[in-house]
Amino acid sequence: MQDVQISKETAMRVYLDYNATTPVDPAVLEAMLPFLGENFGNAGSVHTPGQRARAAVDAARESVAALIGAKSSEIVFTSGGTEADNLALFGAVAASSKQRKHVITTAIEHHAILHSCDELVRQGIDVTVVPVSRAAGSQGVVDPEEIRRALRPETVLISVMHANNELGTIQPIEEIARIAAEAGVCFHSDAVQSAGKVPLDVNVLGVNLLSISAHKFCGPKGVGALYVRTGTKVAPRFFGGHAERDRRPGTENVPGIVGLGKAAELARKLLPEDAPRIRALRDRLESSLLERIPSAQVNGDRARRVPNTTNMSFPGAGGEALLIALDLQGIACSTGAACSSGSTEPSHVLLAAGLSHDDARSSLRFSLGRPTTAADIDQALAVIPGVVERIRALSPRDQQSAAAVPAR
């Protein structure tokens, strides 16, 4: 039998795409395994195996509620952030008794929001998409007054993400919540990219609805939650049984929910040490790349953002060519949202934040996570500047095949 040869590049691979997804923490996997095996009961059953599953779901609900400062009764489990966003938007609009309905959102939302809004428009609902700042130093942050100006008597919902998935910018949710409350309008926030990265308290934020997803903070894929403040009306989008207080019928994904609960518990416990450590690594990566790569720039507000994310432009180097060349050198990052990979269009987020088409196409997102080490950053810094220099040396026509050019 031949020995398996492991390349140096594979052995030293560095993952810097934690905003796309994260590895399942070993403690999360350990918590899930019994519910994929001997504890296989349906949480809706009244017998002992079912009640064992129900107890695990209830414990997970308490853990998720504790992560965001909510009551356990306000947590609705979903299949992930996209379903949570859809339930929030379509559920809140459908629950409104107003004859004419209007929704407000922003130009930098995730497609789970923007495409849902497109569908609302097709259903005859008016939607206003407000801009974000394009000014240096505050790029990618919405002005609460823009939300106020967009309000109408028929407005039934405002949806503004907490942290942007591409830039990492944190939005002024508390100020927007006050505006929404004064107008008597339901307020939703997509917190998929902030849960587990920064402290969250729904009562401080003032939101009515908030979405999270387990796989963004070392939990399993395919499970998330929607926080629904007590008294907020949300009409179901699915119909069947009475699970999740009639808001999300169907047999509960017990292993996934248990995994989400354990991931929430770990995030709450480890956040005080994770956040400053990851921020320091992110800042070192960012500042070193700015020093070593001429005309490199950071996109978005550098003060108001989650600690793990930097989005950088490297003018003169195509982002897709950079992505492929870096991947071949063992560095995994992204050009934007994972759900938009393969698109030839520049990021709608970067364009909304004021970048030119060329700068948007030359941008990469580096996102760090709990497993990221100083050695990872050292390796990234040893590779990235040379790759950028090599790509820049090629003509735009040649950049598509840049990955085939041997590294220096």
Q: Could you list the active site residues?
A: 339
Task: Please report how the helices 319-328 and 374-393 are oriented relative to each other, as an axis angle in degrees rounded to 10.
Answer: 130
Distance CA 236, CA 248 (A): 6
Contact (CB, 8 A) for 299 and 363: yes
SS3 state at 170: strand
Name the DSSP letter for residue 76. E
In 3D, which of 234, 228, 271 has the Cα closest to residue 369? 271
Distance CA 26, CA 29 (A): 5
Distance CA 262, CA 260 (A): 6
Task: Please report how the helices 374-393 and 254-292 are oriented relative to each other, as an axis angle in degrees rounded to 10.
Answer: 60
Distance CA 22, CA 87 (A): 24
Distance CA 392, CA 294 (A): 11
115 burial (CB, 10 Å; 0-12 / 13-18 / 19+) is middle
